[in-house]
Amino acid sequence: MPVTEFLERNAKLYPDEIALVELNPEQPDTRRTTWKEYDLIRPTGFEAYRREITWKVFDEKANRFANLLLARGIKKGDKVAIIMYNCLEWLPIYFGILKSGAIAVPFNFRYDADEILYCAELAEVDMIVFGPEFIGRMEANAEKLSKGRLLLFVGDGCPSFAESYREQVADCSSKAPKVDITEDDFGAIYFSSGTTGFPKAILHKHQSLTQAAEMEQKHHETGREDNFLCIPPLYHTGAKFHWMGSLVAGSKAVLLKGAKPETILQAVSKEHCTIVWLLVPWAQDILDALDRGDLKLEDYELDQWRLMHIGAQPVPPSLIKRWKEYFPKHQYDTNYGLSESTGPGCVHLGMENVNKVGAIGVPGYRWECKIVDENDKEVTGDGVGELCVKGPGVMTCYYNDEKSTKEVLKDGWLYTGDMAMKDSDGFIFLVDRKKDVIVSGGENIYPVQIEDFIRKNNKVKDVAVIGLPDRRLGEKTAAIIEIKEGMSCTKEEIEEFCMDMARYKRPKEIIFAEIPRNATGKIEKPKLRKMYGADFLVAKENQG
């Protein structure tokens, strides 16, 4: 069934129960606190900005937007883009698109003006819904964007080149539109993260969305009494489909703006959240704040918090070991996935397998996995190969890109581009991105293994290992290391620490710098290669 049916069911069964809360602890609610008062009492002592809606209102808002789309000529199969920060309007707009039979196309909120135009044209978008933070970026290409497209603005002070969402939706019916939608209809286009080049448009059927929602609820046993804290951006498949476990369960969720350690613990405490999905940097920041004494667990109400899970990138085992020292009662899970597999969960560790931390896990609900060599033969034993997944959440194709589709879809199997290995118990361990493997002097070197090792150093906050050009070896390993706040570290200390690694794995270059990560927490290695590539090495040699 289409995932929209869960929303309609919740509106009937739990009409007056809270479905969503929007919370911004760093912004005052000016309905209760003036900005002048806020300046005087910042950062504590004010009423935080908070809104909420019930399941009935959520469904009605989605229906109103669906009816608006139909009235404006959007028909089944047309494409409607969303570029907005997380807010209470985001999910009703998304579900309104689905209910109209159109295809929802979430945009990364970090896109610049040209990237917005590029993705709009790539996906052949018919309408763009945008928030106030994007007026400047939309205006830069407004003439091109508005050709054949409706631009709809969500917020106060509608710009002249767009129409107002509030004004347009106000008189629309709150009853569900009569549009027949099946699992075989197209439902969404997501974009690849762009960490390996220009983003690709990933087309999914409604079946993928329903699969992701049901899988999330099953994997984390989300129940009616749970409350999910959603911090990452909703444009990303991870955030949205982790939330959809709450949709299937008919339980509450909180959309939190801000990812500071105190902000997260405050939200968990005040909203009584039970499930929190974190990115590695956020978990690291919480632990560092606790280590420094900046945060004290006794200051918060956290007994109800039962599950912390992480995804979007490899998780250092040392991080989870530290987490369990502070939160020994927490269930833990890690989720692996990609936008081509409708986000996280095609492989997951499982809450019962905390003894296997370090692995990404086993095939998820309704999924199959295999690891193959360069000849598409399954590897045996503990051999390394490319991870392939198969299941009801695999994308239909890269939209309008037959060549790229054929490269990753073979006989129903999605070739992930991730190198992996399997242990004797059948647990899959991620080794690295296929494109990130460093070939140095004929040896294959997997950066994730080196990164996990260096992160064990208690002075290291974050690390990224890349390959740099080398005349003799072809490539050499370089470790870009970010040191924890208030600490100092030398190159010699890191070199000494790495002596326990095999000689060929030891970094040949050590660079102390901040690690750039995208909105979903992934290290932006192309950016690092550009920053520290051939020109950087030449300049270093000249200085030396």
In this prediction, residue 255 carries a pLDDT of 97
In this prediction, residue 134 carries a pLDDT of 96
Q: Where is average pLDDT lowest: 271-280, 322-331, 436-445, 523-532? A: 436-445
How many helices and strands, by DSSP H and E, does the chain display? 18, 27
- Tokens standing for residue 119: 């993705």
Q: What is the mean pLDDT of residues 345-367?
A: 93
CB atoms within 10 A of CB 110: 12
Integer-rounded Cα radius of gyration of the chain? 24
In this prediction, residue 196 carries a pLDDT of 44
Alpha-carbon gap, residue 145 to 122, rounded angstroms: 12
Say whether 391 sits in a helix, a strand or coil.
Answer: coil
Q: What angle do CA 176, 179, 180 make, to 5 degrees?
A: 125
- Tokens standing for residue 249: 């369960």
- Shared-domain flag, residues 418 and 459: no
Given pLDDT bands bounded at 50, 70 and 90, which one contains residue 179?
Answer: very high
Domain total in the chain: 3
pLDDT at residue 178 is higher than 80: yes
Query: Which residues form the domain of 449?
Result: 441-543
Residue 20 lies in a domain: yes
Alpha-carbon gap, residue 169 to 155, rounded angstroms: 13
- Shared-domain flag, residues 403 and 454: no
- Tokens standing for residue 267: 């939200």
- Shared-domain flag, residues 392 and 457: no
Picking from 258, 284, 301, the residue at the C-terminal end of a domain is 258
- Shared-domain flag, residues 425 and 347: yes
Say whether 263 sits in a helix, a strand or coil.
Answer: helix
Q: What angle do CA 446, 515, 470 make, to 5 degrees?
A: 50
pLDDT tens for each residue of 313-330: 667 788 899 999 999 999
Cβ contact 518:524 at 8 Å: yes
Residue 327 lies in a domain: no
In this prediction, residue 475 carries a pLDDT of 79
For residue 477, give the CATH number of its domain: 3.30.300.30
Residue 273 lies in a domain: no
Residue 349 lies in a domain: yes
In this prediction, residue 540 carries a pLDDT of 56
Q: Which of 140, 185, 183, 146 has the alpha carbon at shortest distance from 162? A: 146
More confident residue, 54 or 318: 54
Q: What is the mean pLDDT of residues 20-39?
A: 65
Picking from 258, 288, 317, the residue at the C-terminal end of a domain is 258
Residue with tokens 């085992």: 317
More confident residue, 244 or 45: 244
In this prediction, residue 501 carries a pLDDT of 82
pLDDT at residue 197 is higher than 80: no
Given pLDDT bands bounded at 50, 70 and 90, which one contains residue 47?
Answer: low
The runs of H, that is alpha helices, within 48-182 are: 55-71, 90-99, 113-122, 135-140, 142-145, 165-169
- Shared-domain flag, residues 467 and 352: no
In this prediction, residue 438 carries a pLDDT of 82
Alpha-carbon gap, residue 240 to 466, rounded angstroms: 31
Averaged pLDDT of the chain: 89
Q: What is the mean pLDDT of residues 85-101?
A: 97
192: which residues sit within 8 A by CB, 6+ positions away? 199, 200, 202, 338, 339, 340
Which residues lie across from 152 on neighbouring strands? 129, 163
Q: Which of 425, 341, 244, 323 has the alpha carbon at shortest distance from 333? A: 323
In this prediction, residue 41 carries a pLDDT of 40
Which residues lie across from 444 on neighbouring strands? 439
- Shared-domain flag, residues 29 and 127: yes
Given pLDDT bands bounded at 50, 70 and 90, which one contains residue 8?
Answer: very high
This prediction has a pTM of 0.82
pLDDT tens for each residue of 115-144: 899 999 999 999 999 999 999 999 999 999
Alpha-carbon gap, residue 285 to 261, rounded angstroms: 6
- Shared-domain flag, residues 77 and 212: yes
Alpha-carbon gap, residue 403 to 431, rounded angstroms: 27
- Cβ-based burial of 300 (10 A; exposed 0-12, middle 13-18, buried ≥19): middle
Residue 536 lies in a domain: yes
More confident residue, 161 or 358: 161
Residue 295 lies in a domain: no
In this prediction, residue 36 carries a pLDDT of 47
Residue 213 lies in a domain: yes
- Shared-domain flag, residues 29 and 177: yes
- Shared-domain flag, residues 460 and 479: yes
pLDDT at residue 198 is higher than 90: no
For residue 355, give the CATH number of its domain: 2.30.38.10
Residue 302 lies in a domain: no
In this prediction, residue 49 carries a pLDDT of 86
- Shared-domain flag, residues 481 and 390: no
In this prediction, residue 389 carries a pLDDT of 97
